[in-house]
């Protein structure tokens, strides 16, 4: 089985969010099942110098985008039995940003180049697995230009939606200027082209990153204007939960946390991580007081407005709260206001800091994820491994992974609330804080949490099953 993935970002080379995490972990997990996995991404200027020095130059070709005749350098890097290819073009990828006003041009170039370099590489995949809006147009390009050519004709396309909110909408004239697509692919809106809609319409299978999100996006509330198309394609739509890379997120061997621990030792050592974190943050070192953590983009999707609406009520409880993340300037200013108002209760770190994120996972008692919608979410699954108990809104992947604790059956790995409002959210936090002081009950929740397995192993096998079904049908034809 040969699988080629194409994406805009891949950790550890360059990432801005969960897409990069998935493209780091899923290929590695598939490779462990004897799949020949290769990944194509842009050679951004901001790729870490460590990798820039290890990437091997294979050669170059020239790629035509209508009237443009562009240089396309091809570089290679191998790790964890996965081969990575990097598309080099200084004009498209020479900025310091992964995403900017050049998005249409740079991802059109990536999409065409990914097809065009395959004969140079002498590699014909069985499956072309494309990710999010950035590569959605590849499904239309394949349908229009490539499937009729002998080198490509047996390829099947899997398209994964990581977040339906970001669809890649561009003015028709600009797309026509970039891509050699036939007129029939400019359907629907006479003025706007939607790259994600192209991926959904022309891929052989469409997956998204949790079973609940798959159901939600077929409704007007969560469908972002594509619910009718998704319902039309529902027989090709599959929800597969993302996983966590336990090689990176595991308190037993995590080099970024203060003190390592596991299921047997967390009762004594997790508290030491909490004390060290409080000291680092210049908060009162009171290990008996519950510490709530939150990590993520400061965006409405992540429920920051809900957090801000309860901050006064939250900070008058006997607890401390640390939030790590950046984003919307209005949210950042509001958080700084509350930090000044409650200096011994609340700390906001308005940046992304990977080391501090690991330390918050290990040192917090509770963790907030009140997202308005959440395709999958990784932080809540990471928390479980670290024995930090999530409080989540019952949507998408949060609903699929966090099950509210029941004091009578002693089942459940966290706390959840339905109905996106401040009352339900605050009530659930207060319930969690009450149970925190019942150490027998709280340790049962931690035990349940740390026994959860959300590794990539199971999810990788589900993707492999899709690949096998598609290639089997292809051979039968």
Asked if domains 2-243+457-476 and 266-454 share a fold, the reply is yes
What is the bridge-based pairing of β-strands 82-88 and 36-42?
parallel
In terms of Cβ atoms closer than 10 Å to its own Cβ (0-12, 13-18, 19+), residue 124 is middle
Q: Average pLDDT in the 332-340 region?
A: 97
Q: Average pLDDT in the 377-403 region?
A: 97
Least confident window among 44-58, 302-316, 329-343: 44-58
Question: What pLDDT, on the 0 to 100 scale, is given for residue 473?
Answer: 65
Question: What pLDDT, on the 0 to 100 scale, is given for residue 180?
Answer: 85
Question: What pLDDT, on the 0 to 100 scale, is given for residue 264?
Answer: 95
Domain ranges in the chain are 2-243+457-476, 266-454
Task: Indicate the average pLDDT of the chain.
Answer: 95
Q: CATH classification of 266-454, choosing from 2.130.10.10, 3.90.79.10, 3.40.50.2000, 3.40.1000.10?
A: 3.40.50.2000
Residue 376 DSSP symbol: S
Is the pLDDT at 475 greater than 80? The verdict is no
Is the pLDDT at 474 greater than 80? The verdict is no
Sheet (strand 366-369) strand order = 346-349, 320-324, 291-295, 366-369, 389-393, 415-417
Per-residue pLDDT tens for 166-210?
999 999 999 999 998 998 898 878 899 999 999 999 999 999 999
Q: Tokens 């990536």: give the residue.
A: 110
Is the pLDDT at 413 greater than 60? The verdict is yes
The CATH superfamily label for domain 2-243+457-476 reads Glycogen Phosphorylase B; (3.40.50.2000)
- How would residue 380 be classed by pLDDT, with cut points 50, 70 and 90? very high
Question: What pLDDT, on the 0 to 100 scale, is given for residue 328?
Answer: 94
Proportion of the chain above pLDDT 70, given as a percent: 99
Q: Tokens 């964890």: give the residue.
A: 80
Question: What pLDDT, on the 0 to 100 scale, is given for residue 189?
Answer: 83
More confident call, 375 vs 475: 375
d(CA 247, CA 250): 7
37: number of CA atoms within 13 Å, CB side?
Answer: 26
Between the alpha carbon of residue 195 and those of residues 123, 132, 366, 401, 407, the distances in Å are 26, 9, 39, 30, 47
Per-residue pLDDT tens for 233-245?
999 999 999 999 9
């Amino acid at each position: 089985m040969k699988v080629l993935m194409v994406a805009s970002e891949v950790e550890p080379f360059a990432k801005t969010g969960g897409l990069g995490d998935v493209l780091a972990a899923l290929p590695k997990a598939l490779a462990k099942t004897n799949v020949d996995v290769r990944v194509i991404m842009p050679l951004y200027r901001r790729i870490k110098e460590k990798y820039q020095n290890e990437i091997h130059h294979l050669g170059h070709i020239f790629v035509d985008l209508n009237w443009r005749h562009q240089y396309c350098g091809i570089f290679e890097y191998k790790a964890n039995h996965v081969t990575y290819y990097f598309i080099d073009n200084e004009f498209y990828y020479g900025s310091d940003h992964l995403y900017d006003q050049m998005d249409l041009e740079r991802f059109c170039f990536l999409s065409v180049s990914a097809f065009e370099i395959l004969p140079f590489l002498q590699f014909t995949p069985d499956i072309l697995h494309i990710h999010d809006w950035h590569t959605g147009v590849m499904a239309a390009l394949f349908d229009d230009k490539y499937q009729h050519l002998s080198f490509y004709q047996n390829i099947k396309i899997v398209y994964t939606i990581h977040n339906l909110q970001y669809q890649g909408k561009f003015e028709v004239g600009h797309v026509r200027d970039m891509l050699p697509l036939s007129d029939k692919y400019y359907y629907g809106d006479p003025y706007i082209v939607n790259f994600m809609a192209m991926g959904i319409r022309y891929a052989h299978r469409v997956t998204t990153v949790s079973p609940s999100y798959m159901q939600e996006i077929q409704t007007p509330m969560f469908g972002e204007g594509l619910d009718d198309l998704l319902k039309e394609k529902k027989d090709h739509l599959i929800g597969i939960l993302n996983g966590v890379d336990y090689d990176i997120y595991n308190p037993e061997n995590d080099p970024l946390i203060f003190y390592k621990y596991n299921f047997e030792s967390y009762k004594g050592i997790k508290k030491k991580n909490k004390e060290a974190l409080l000291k680092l943050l210049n908060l009162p070192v009171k290990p008996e007081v519950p510490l709530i953590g939150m990590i993520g983009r400061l965006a409405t999707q992540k429920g920051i407005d809900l957090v801000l609406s309860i901050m006064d009520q939250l900070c008058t409880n006997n607890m401390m709260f640390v939030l790590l993340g950046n984003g919307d300037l209005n949210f950042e200013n509001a958080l700084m206001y509350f930090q000044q108002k409650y200096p011994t209760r609340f700390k906001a770190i308005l940046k992304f800091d990977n080391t501090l994120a690991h330390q918050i996972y290990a040192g917090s008692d509770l963790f907030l994820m009140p997202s308005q919608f959440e395709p999958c979410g990784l932080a809540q699954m990471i928390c479980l491994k670290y024995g930090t108990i999530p409080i989540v809104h019952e949507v998408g992947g949060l609903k699929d992974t966090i099950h509210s604790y029941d004091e009578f059956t002693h089942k459940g790995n966290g706390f959840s609330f339905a109905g996106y409002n401040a009352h339900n959210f605050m009530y659930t936090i207060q319930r969690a804080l009450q149970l925190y002081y019942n150490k027998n009950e709280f340790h049962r929740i931690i035990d349940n949490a740390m026994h959860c397995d959300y590794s990539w192993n199971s999810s990788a096998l589900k993707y492999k099953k899709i690949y096998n079904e598609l290639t089997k049908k292809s051979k039968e034809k």
